[in-house]
Amino acid sequence: MAYDPEIYAAAVKTLAARRAAAEQDAALLRERACAQFPRLKEIDAALAATGTHIAHAILEGGNIDAAIARIQAENECLQAEMAELLQKGGFGVRNFAPLYTCPLCDDTGYHGGNMCTCLSKLLKEQAAARVCKGLSSDPKRFSDLSLSFYDDTPPAERALSPRERMRRIFAYCEQYAAAFSTHAPSLLLRGATGTGKTHVSLAIAGTVAENGFSVVYQPAGRLFGLLEEEHFGRRSGNTLETVLSCDLLVIDDLGTEFETSFVAATLYTIINTRMLDGLPTVISTNLTQEGLQSRYGDQTVSRITGAFEPLLFVGKDIRQQKRTAAMRS
């Protein structure tokens, strides 16, 4: 996957900072430990000279194997002595090697000639953060959701009250976000304006991102606007690749974007590709099933109906309820 140079630069900078911090910690530890046990300084110097000793043994000729075996045995003794002293001092390590964040690549981003998983994770996170950047939404949390805005009288006998229905939806979404994995199902949040869909979408996106997954959250209008500008070369970027490959994609307010053939085709590509790759998507919309069908066509909508968990948000416009309550007080 080809990311923007800016994204690479940011990820590489993060790795360099991790490496520098680990090396600084190691140097500090060496200093403190050697001050406490001066013998450690001698051991450290002797261990550092191992390579030179081996080179000498080879140059001198004679029984090279025996000489190298002797040097290695000495080396092991020194390492054991070092570990013992460090343990005695309560330093919690066996030697002065830096403790890198990623033991696979020592925070270089590459191992065995391939990109390390830690670097690809950083790139994904950077890319997702960049797509989200510029959204003026304050964080919305599950804990801010109240059930008091939803009526608790069932609309009919043996039907759920709006409050009970929403209680179940909130519980389901909170659990979904907390236990998110890339095998999680896709969700379709449907319902009228002001029933909490955006709030819940953001709460899901926030929790999943906090758990270390790469998340892209975008209102449909902004998302398709960006994709269109990049597609027609009016703007540079890899939004489509990010949107196709992020762990979780959240498209909020589907149906509020301009209705164009580009949007319909791109939505199909996004839904179909992510589905084939087994990646979950969360979509919120005010549109009904018929509304979705007439806007995006049968092919796209049958993908959504076939694979998305439908959650129907009910109740009266909460923004309006809050406004009325504020006017009364």
Ligand X SMILES: Nc1ncnc2c1ncn2[C@@H]1O[C@H](COP(=O)(O)OP(=O)(O)O)[C@@H](O)[C@H]1O
List contacts with ligand X (CB under 6 A). 140, 144-146, 149, 193-199, 318-319
The smaller minimum CB distance to Mg ion, of residues 163 and 197, is found at: 197
- Direct distance between the N- and C-terminal alpha carbons of the chain, in angstroms, rounded to an integer: 55
Token couple for 3: 């990311």
The smaller minimum CB distance to ligand X, of residues 44 and 164, is found at: 164
The smaller minimum CB distance to ligand X, of residues 17 and 312, is found at: 312
Q: What is the distance between the alpha carbons of residues 164 and 152, in angstroms, rounded to a whole number?
A: 7
Please state the closest distance from residue 96 (CB atom) to Zn ion, in A: 21
The Cβ of residue 54 has, within 10 Å, a number of other Cβ atoms equal to: 16
Token couple for 172: 């389901």
| Partner residues linked to 310 by β-bridges | 188
The smaller minimum CB distance to Zn ion, of residues 15 and 208, is found at: 15
Q: Which of 277, 139, 254 is nearest to 189 (CA)?
A: 254
With a CB cutoff of 8 Å and minimum separation 6, the contacts of 268 are: 296, 297, 299, 300, 303
Q: Is residue 223 near Zn ion by the rule CB under 5 A? A: no
Please state the closest distance from residue 248 (CB atom) to Mg ion, in A: 18
The Cβ of residue 160 has, within 10 Å, a number of other Cβ atoms equal to: 14
Which parts of this chain interact with Mg ion (CB under 5 A)? 197-198, 253
Q: Is residue 116 near Zn ion by the rule CB under 5 A? A: yes
Please state the closest distance from residue 138 (CB atom) to ligand X, in A: 9
Q: Is residue 166 near Zn ion by the rule CB under 5 A? A: no
Please state the closest distance from residue 287 (CB atom) to Mg ion, in A: 12
The smaller minimum CB distance to ligand X, of residues 170 and 224, is found at: 170
Query: Could you tell me how far CA 284 lies from the centroid of its own chain?
Result: 21
Please state the closest distance from residue 279 (CB atom) to Zn ion, in A: 23
Please state the closest distance from residue 170 (CB atom) to ligand X, in A: 7
Maximum Cα interatomic distance, the chain, rounded to a whole number of Å = 99
Please state the closest distance from residue 248 (CB atom) to ligand X, in A: 18
Query: Could you tell me how far CA 262 lies from the centroid of its own chain?
Result: 29
Token couple for 317: 């416009």
The smaller minimum CB distance to ligand X, of residues 65 and 144, is found at: 144
Q: Is residue 118 near Zn ion by the rule CB under 5 A? A: yes
String of contacts with Zn ion for each residue 64-103, x by CB under 5 A: --------------------------------------x-
| Partner residues linked to 111 by β-bridges | 114
Q: Is residue 105 near Zn ion by the rule CB under 5 A? A: yes
The smaller minimum CB distance to ligand X, of residues 263 and 318, is found at: 318
Q: What are phi and psi of 234, to 5 degrees?
A: -85, 0
With a CB cutoff of 8 Å and minimum separation 6, the contacts of 192 are: 286, 313, 314, 315, 317
Segment lying near Zn ion (by CB under 5 A), choices 18-26, 52-60, 111-119, 224-232: 111-119
Query: Cα angle at 106 between 119 and 48, to 5 degrees?
Result: 160
| Positions in the binding site for Zn ion (CB under 5 A) | 102, 104-105, 116, 118
